[in-house]
Structure 1
């Protein structure tokens, strides 16, 4: 398991190296669904997200929505994994209370991270911080264990699960079809071709359906 002491501290509030395009740091931890290693998810997509604390309003709203949409994630070959620095026993009590009060059973694992070692390895908190107040992060990890996208939110702002599903669909579409996705893209809409690599490709793009060489749409299914 990554250890907080292994992370560079030569500058104040130094963030670790977890970034887009890097391999997601592996770890083993207790969760509400038993012992889990990050590498257990290899071969599938993973949305790995942290929350500041159990029994808090924004986090409760997020977890209920994640659970209500879990079938959509799994239809995209993606699993969910939550994390906070609360204890396993706090996680268990919170899961039970959500079910009792809201009728929603949280079935995805929630990682216990009392030492903050996982949170620090992923840059969910600043290395010099002894507080979890800034922790609300999302990491999109592909089947090869590579971090493909990250989103970080402040404490008071809840995440949009619909947006997380959209980003996941965009990443998968880009990989599958070799395209990019323009602003606000949603599944079924036209994507765009990546920027041309040379003048010949730029000329060919300009001739495609009267399109602009640097902004060429590719309709779904083309």
Structure 2
């Protein structure tokens, strides 16, 4: 199978889930999507991750993002596990968990890494935009839980840089200064886009306040 790369169209699929059958592109609609895999139900790190995803429902909704999880467990296992997640994480799981027992999704998205495990998915993350293009990927080992603050930070950066001719520097967070892209050189357009002005540290490094704040 070809490796999925940034800018590729996210593969479509139909698969069973805790919310019933899901046709992925249809379900995604005009939203951003965070598709993430976990190694197995009823495991400790995964329980905290899905609980954190549920707790961040408002943050995802504010960004027009739909989260969806997947593992190779069957749907009845997912349903039983949801009760444990809700109980131990003091939340309510409010997003679908795909039941990928036949590994259809895992194979499409290359989520099984044989040198880590031949039977379960690694912790993959795909951030997908409303045009169904893959914009960011992360891969974590089974022992390391994901940083959901970073996932939200990347979404903020993607949505900002899609709308304005800027890039975000190292450790940027929503509200911090940004960088005017080097390709933007027209003084009139720069003045119109960035009325607060900018600081030119170097000709290629122009710092400006975040334009949508």
Q: TM-score range by the shorter chain?
A: 0.7 to 0.9
Runs of 4 or more, structure 1, over 6 Å off, are: none
- State how far apart, in whole Å, the 2-side matches of 1:94 and 1:80 are: 17
TM-score normalised to the size of structure 1? 0.84
Q: Extract unaligned runs of 5+ from structure 1.
A: 1-6, 8-15
C-alpha displacement of 1:196: 3.5
1:75-94 mapped onto 2 (5 Å cutoff): 75-94=62-81
- State how far apart, in whole Å, the 2-side matches of 1:145 and 1:130 are: 28
C-alpha displacement of 1:139: 0.4
- State how far apart, in whole Å, the 2-side matches of 1:153 and 1:106 are: 22
- 2:68 is paired with a residue whose SS is strand
Q: Is the 8 A contact 2:45 2:145 kept in 1?
A: yes
2:145 aligned to which of 158, 180, 194: 158
Correspondence for 1:65: 52
2:204 aligned to which of 207, 210, 214: 214
- The Cα offsets for residues 160-209 of structure 1, whole Å up to 9 and x where unpaired, read as 11111111101101101121111000001111122337xx77xxx9xx64
Q: Which has the higher strand share?
A: 2
C-alpha displacement of 1:210: 4.3
1:28-39 mapped onto 2 (5 Å cutoff): 28-39=14-25
Q: Is the 8 A contact 1:120 1:126 kept in 2?
A: no
In the alignment of these two chains, the number of paired residues is 203
Correspondence for 2:6: 20
- 1:55 is paired with a residue whose SS is coil
Superposed CA RMSD: 2.4
C-alpha displacement of 1:98: 2.1
- The Cα offsets for residues 59-110 of structure 1, whole Å up to 9 and x where unpaired, read as 0111111111111010111110000000001100000222244432211000
TM-score normalised to the size of structure 2? 0.87
1:122-137 mapped onto 2 (5 Å cutoff): 122-126=109-113, 130-132=118-120, 135-137=122-124
- State how far apart, in whole Å, the 2-side matches of 1:43 and 1:150 are: 20
C-alpha displacement of 1:220: 1.4
2:171 aligned to which of 178, 184, 188: 184
- State how far apart, in whole Å, the 1-side matches of 2:167 and 2:176 are: 12
- State how far apart, in whole Å, the 2-side matches of 1:138 and 1:65 are: 15
- State how far apart, in whole Å, the 2-side matches of 1:216 and 1:100 are: 49
- State how far apart, in whole Å, the 1-side matches of 2:94 and 2:8 are: 28
- The Cα offsets for residues 114-138 of structure 1, whole Å up to 9 and x where unpaired, read as 1112111112114897321x51011
- State how far apart, in whole Å, the 2-side matches of 1:115 and 1:170 are: 35
